[in-house]
Amino acid sequence: MSVKPQALVITAPGINCDAELAAAFDAAGAQPESILMGALEREPSRIDDFQLIGLPGGFSFGDDVAAGRIMAVLMRERIYPALASAIERGVPMICPCNGFQIAVQAGLLPGPERGVWPHEPATPSVALCQNRAARFHDAWTRVTIPSDTRCVWTRGLQLDHETGLLPSAHGEGRFITDPSTLTALQTNGQVAVRYAEGENFNGSMDAIAGICDPSGLVFGLMPHPERFTRWTQHPWWTRLDPSQRTGEPLGLRMFRQAVRIAAEPAHRRSHVTSA
């Protein structure tokens, strides 16, 4: 009997999607454990025990100052080296919604250019800004996955028009960066998922809904794949043809791919971090 890979879900005051993220890891074959940020600050070495990491969505610390800012500062100051070490040893990490906002400010995304994690977190080079309409938006949107992405969570996934969609719920999700960084992300295969044509409600540059680091392990996105792991969560699931519900939902497939990698011996995962 194989041992399930252990998945760390990092929680903090205001985060409200940790249970959903843990359920998604569980459904994909991992063993989740939620640990408060404060406990990790006191003992960062606990991160060494996990083969997967999730940074959930919500409103960490009430989004005071700015979305995810306080959580990101704490991570930069207290647990960044432990997280960088985990990524270097091949740990897949997912950061939906507020997790994405935190990850970019904490220096985890878009990650180091040469794939070697520095001891100090980098200055943020991308940002998630206020939606184009300047209001919170809650909707399911169709998405696409670039054929050249190196993201281990999305690479190779096939989508169709009716089931290739994900739910979003945010007020600050407009992806922006400078032209040279955008070109580098596109050229390096770090665009992990885009909003489909006509679905880019927040006004993100290049319709980017999510990116990954150069290794493809760290995945940040504004939609919530953890909210689409069962067909009954699909917004019009009763109207879908039964043949469209024979496989697994898009969100669950993303988690399956990462759990599969996490379950492999480290020497078999070395090709991922060197990609």
DSSP letters for 151-218:
-TTTTT----TTT-EEEEEESS-EEEE-HHHHHHHHHTT-EEEEEPTT--TT--GGGEEEEE-TTS-E
Give residue 158's identity as a one-letter amino acid code.
Answer: Q
Spot the catalytic one: 97, 170, 212, 234.
Answer: 97
What tokens were used for 66?
Answer: 């700015």
Please give the torsion angle defined by the CA atoms of residues 270, 272, 274 and 275, in that order, rounded to the nearest 10 degrees.
150
- DSSP 3-state assignment of 86? helix
Spot the catalytic one: 20, 199, 226, 248.
Answer: 226
Answer yes or no: 97 catalytic: yes
Answer yes or no: 226 catalytic: yes
Which whole-number Å values give the CA distances from 155 to 241, 255, 258, in the listed order? 26, 12, 10
Spot the catalytic one: 20, 170, 224, 248.
Answer: 224
Query: Counting runs of H as helices and runs of E as strands, what totals does the chain give?
Result: 8, 11
Q: How many Å apart are CA 102 and CA 136, to the nearest integer? A: 18
- The candidate with the shortest Cα–Cα distance to 35, out of 60, 59, 7, 71, is 7
What tokens were used for 45?
Answer: 């070495």
Left if phi > 0, otherwise alpha if psi is -120 to 50, otherwise beta: which for 90?
A: left
The secondary structure of 88-129, three-state, reads HCCCCEEEECHHHHHHHHCCCCCCCCCCCCCCCCCCCCEEEE
Q: Which residues are catalytic?
A: 97, 224, 226
